[in-house]
Amino acid sequence: MTKSGIKKNTGKIIPIYPLSAGISQNVIRKIIQNGTDEVYGNLEENIPEYIIKRYNLMGINDAIKNIHFPNNNAAFLKARYRLVFEELLGLQLALLRIREGNLEEKNGIQFSKDVKMSDVINELPFKLTRAQLRVLEEIDNNMESKKTMNRLLQGDVGSGKTVVSIISAYKAVKSGYQVAIMAPTAILADQHFKNFQNILNKFGIRCELLVSAITKKKKQEILERLGNGNIDILIGTHSLLEDNVVFKNLGLIVTDEQHRFGVKQRSKLNSKGTNPDVIVMSATPIPRTLALILYGDLDISIIDELPPNRKKIDTFAVTKELEDRLNGFVKKQIDQGRQAYIVCPLVEENEEMDLKSVIQLTEKYKNETFRSYTVEYLHGKMKNKEKDEIMDKFKNGEIDILVSTTVIEVGVDVPNANIMVVENAERFGLAQLHQLRGRVGRGEYKSYCVLKYEGKGKTVRERMKVMCDTNDGFVISEKDLELRGSGDFFGTAQHGIPEMKIANLFQDMSVLKEVQKLANEIITEDPLMRKESNTKLNNLIKEKFEGRIEI
């Protein structure tokens, strides 16, 4: 910086911008300064006067000026608060509008009050948790009302979401409707099929499985029975979306691991019925406040309690110095009859990134480290048929060690697998590590998760400590958000939500809570925001959700 530049900026708060090659901070500051001077006083207010007064918000012209060139720190904070408030308010109102619009347009199915969920609950060989019973009550009330149910069912790995969906399906079938259950993989669909059959067979409910592996003849027979109403519950993968899959009377849709399916796929399945009720299940724990941002157009039910028989998974974080000891521990577990997962971040060796790849590691384990054991690999680039065959073998105990990418994150239960080793654990998000860890501890055996990590940075150590200290997915997702920031934490783009320019979901939690309260008030009083006082807010959400919402 020149001497005159130093003098000019002395004692001032100055902005620092991301730079492109060849442009200095002084040049970009000058351009921004000229721009803000040019528009100052000409920017139209996009928040109604009554909200500005109530929350003592800075006006838009002063906010834009002070976010770039504040007179003092107080002015900067006030400007930032105003812009964060505006961004979050636009987002919340848009999501609530989508939900209200959905509810206003359609009358949903009113399922029978005479069909009692307790008929199934009383026949279960285990007791439901209080959380499961609370969520079932929410779903039951929803199903018996005229409003179409669009509900997110959230629960940690192993919290018992599947049984909640089975009991909900029972109510739909006994009220005279069919049910579609969509899972992301054939092996998971098969697991659901067996679970549904085990519980619902005694009630005379007919379940069927539709996956790409079945023969053409069998598929044709299933489609005919589905069309004439002789199948009550159809469980499958993306196969359910095909045009020739026609239901006689579809009333309830359940999608498992909903983040694996796009919005278009969800609406294609919905179109196979007349305003069917929808439950989307997710094992990715998201704190309720944040779930409202991602799924603001859905009601939210959370199973925040694990069944009493779920064993705690002991988690350890180790560096490569302990590799030999760890390998010895894995061998000891397998010698006792158990099985192991080893998870890697990459499929093939990449010279630029020194990470263990699945194929390279499998070769090493097969030929050296674990040559007395059966070692196989699994990754997302394999054909579905190959993946299913490997997973079946692992489930049946024919494979001792399965080296895999995160493709097993959403997977089948293998009660005999009690140890997971995650290579280069520092490369994974905490929420993802927690999801992976949930693949073990599903049987009667003491289970372990070992995180092998590299790097000595404070954040890496802190992240590993969180994983070792808690098994609570909601605590972990809060911490993940705090450590990684909200930028790409939830992959908001895939939810069709615009990227946030200034708000930080962790840092601005208190503003978010205020805004959510206000947005609910506005929508309760004026569901479609037709009052004149809300015209500016309509323009604000139009900007954010152009094409997704009709104003």
List the domain boundaries for the chain: 112-145+160-282, 313-470
Strands (E), 330-444: 339-343, 375-378, 401-404, 417-422
Nearest CA among 208, 210, 140, 151 for reference residue 174: 140
Where residue 487 falls among pLDDT bands split at 50, 70, 90?
A: very low
Question: How many CA atoms are closer than 13 Å to the CA of 183, on its beta-carbon side?
Answer: 22
Nearest CA among 1, 32, 39 for reference residue 15: 32
Nearest CA among 473, 188, 138 for reference residue 298: 138
Tell me the C-alpha distance between 525 and 343, whole Å: 51
Q: Mean pLDDT, to the nearest integer, of 166-192?
A: 92
Structure tokens at 236: 């499958």
Supply the pLDDT for residue 491.
Answer: 43
> How far apart, in Å, are the Cα atoms of 10 and each of 1, 3, 510?
12, 11, 34
Give the best-scoring range by mean pLDDT among 107-121, 345-359, 507-521. Answer: 107-121
Per-residue pLDDT of 340-366, as tens digits, reads 999 988 755 555 555 568 888 889 999
Supply the pLDDT for residue 84.
Answer: 94
CATH superfamily of 112-145+160-282: P-loop containing nucleotide triphosphate hydrolases (3.40.50.300)
Question: In CATH, what class is 313-470?
Answer: alpha beta
Identify the residue whose tokens are 């006792």: 336
Tell me the C-alpha distance between 402 and 385, whole Å: 17
SS3 112: coil
> How far apart, in Å, are the Cα atoms of 346 and each of 105, 358, 381?
46, 6, 11
Where residue 55 falls among pLDDT bands split at 50, 70, 90?
A: very high
Per-residue pLDDT of 372-408, as tens digits, reads 999 998 887 788 778 888 888 998 999 999 998 877 6
Asked whether the predicted pLDDT for residue 505 surpasses 90, the reply is no
Question: Which residues does 361 contact at the CB level (< 8 Å), separation at least 6?
Answer: 342, 344, 377, 403, 423
Q: H-type helices in 485-548, by residue range?
A: 509-525, 535-544
pTM more than 0.75:
no
SS3 208: strand
SS3 278: strand
Equal fold, 112-145+160-282 vs 313-470: yes
Question: Which residues does 221 contact at the CB level (< 8 Å), separation at least 6?
Answer: none
Asked whether the predicted pLDDT for residue 3 surpasses 60, the reply is no
**Burial degree of 500 (CB within 10 A; 0-12, 13-18, 19+):** middle
Structure tokens at 476: 């972990």
Supply the pLDDT for residue 458.
Answer: 85
